[in-house]
Amino acid sequence: MGVPEFAVPALVHLANSEHEVVAVYTRLDKPSGRGRGISESAVKHVAEEMGLEVRQLESLKDTGDVVALASLKPDIIVVASFGIILPPSVLDIPTYGCLNLHPSLLPLYRGPTPIPAAILAGDDVTGASVMLVDKGIDSGPILAQRRVPVEPTDTTKSLTDKLAHVSADLLMETLPGWISHSITPRPQRHEGATYTRMLSKDDGELDWRLSAAELWRRVRAYYPWPVSFTSWNGKGTRILEALPQPGQIDEPGRVLDLGQGEVGVQTGNGILKLVRVQVEGKKEMGITEFVRGQRGFVGSMLPS
């Protein structure tokens, strides 16, 4: 059971193992983009390529869907970024329970956005957890965990890719011990739990009164979505890549010429050097190319 790219490595590992994948559950296709074409989930695309049975739904509230799932008689249900709550009637179906792959070192960062949360917090380390699903939100007992470093260059995209493969490997290493009853689940310490929330497009708007280090973390955490942005010349301008550096002139939002073709923006503490940007309706480009086409940009004041 999964939807995005994060769930694909686990699906591929399972399908290429001695285990039989009797069905793949994912979300319904949805309209996407300005042309409102239909977008299918990454999991559906890969599952169909592998010749696996795919079932799509928006919830498991319908008794008929639960009965259909039970008819498959699964030994285990593996969940990875599925986004649908599994009711008790589903949790009771598989012989060995429902195992969830969660990209954090639980009980840290329960909920829907653990990877951006780790980057926003400035963590040096995050990780992958294999847990037994219970009635709570990512609160079930832990079967296995693995630590993964967060590099200064990591974005949510790059860190998701890493954690997807680590999670898939950890799942395959954990399954034999779980099935043979040689692994004892470890209850989570709920007192230390932290929770994440769904992100919105508005989260990407940069407030130049914040520090350069904080804005740098936001640029990385919000790539590839919702993407950090500001406004220049009446158009939304995405900040795709940036770096923090010291410097202070007490004008947060002022665009500065840093010399040698480099451009930065004064923040509440330090300067955010811009590396890659994208003006609304245009292709993304390096800052040098962007400035050549936007002569009034350097010296201007961006909104906070």
Q: CATH no. for residue 111?
A: 3.40.50.170
Residue with tokens 């709570």: 136
Q: What angle do CA 126, 152, 148 make, to 5 degrees?
A: 25
The model's pTM is 0.94
pLDDT at 224 over 70: yes
Structurally, the chain folds into a number of domains equal to 2
Q: How far apart are CA 51 and CA 190, in angstroms?
A: 41
- Distance, CA of 97 to CA of 17 (rounded, Å): 19
User: Cα dihedral angle (82, 223, 103, 159), rounded to 10 degrees?
Assistant: 130
pLDDT at 78: 98
Q: Are residues 166 and 287 in the same domain?
A: no
Domain end call among 158, 192, 226? 192
Does the pLDDT of residue 294 top 90, yes or no?
A: no
pLDDT at 35 > cutoff 70: no
What share of the chain in percent tops pLDDT 70?
98
Q: Where are the alpha helices (DSSP H) in the chain?
A: 8-15, 42-49, 63-70, 88-91, 114-120, 156-179, 212-221, 287-293
pLDDT at 42: 96
Strands 125-132 and 235-245: unpaired
Instruction: Decide if 43 contacts 24 (C-beta within 8 A).
Output: yes
Tell me, yes or no, whether 17 and 35 share the same domain. yes
CA–CA distances in Å: residue 169 to residues 10, 23, 112, 162, 199: 8, 20, 21, 11, 28
Three-state SS for 23?
A: coil
Cis bond before residue 87 (omega within 30° of 0): no
Residue 34's pLDDT band (cuts 50, 70, 90): low
Q: 184 and 212 in one domain?
A: no
Please report the pLDDT score of residue 248 as a whole number.
Answer: 79
pLDDT of res. 37:
67
Alpha-carbon distance of 215 to 237, in angstroms, equals 15
pLDDT grade, residue 123 (50/70/90)? Answer: very high
Containing structural domain, residue 124: 5-192
pLDDT score for 24:
98
Determine the Cα–Cα distance for residues 54 and 51; give it in Å rounded to an integer: 9
Contacts of the segment 9-12: beta carbons below 8 A, 24+ positions apart? 9/164, 9/165, 9/167, 9/168, 10/78, 10/80, 10/101, 10/164, 10/167, 10/168, 10/171, 11/43, 11/46, 11/47, 11/80, 12/46, 12/50, 12/168
Q: What is the number of other CB atoms lying within 10 angstroms of the CB of residue 28?
A: 11
pLDDT in tens, 92-118: 999 999 999 999 999 999 999 999 999
Q: What's phi and psi for 277, nearest 5 deg?
A: -135, 170
Render pLDDT for 161-181 as a digit per residue (tens, 0 to 9): 999 999 999 999 999 999 999
Q: CATH number, domain at 236?
A: 3.10.25.10
What is the tens place of the pLDDT at every residue in 230-282? 999 889 999 999 999 998 778 999 999 999 889 999 999 999 999 999 998 89
Instruction: Confirm whether 303 is domain-assigned.
Output: no
Q: Residues 157, 285: one domain? A: no
- Residues 33, 118, single domain; the answer is yes
- Strand-pairing partners, residue 140, are none
Q: Tell me: do 38 and 153 sit in the same domain.
A: yes
Picking from 160, 192, 224, the residue at the C-terminal end of a domain is: 192
Q: Assess whether 76 and 31 both reside in one domain.
A: yes
How far, in Å, CA of 198 to CA of 282, rounded? Answer: 28
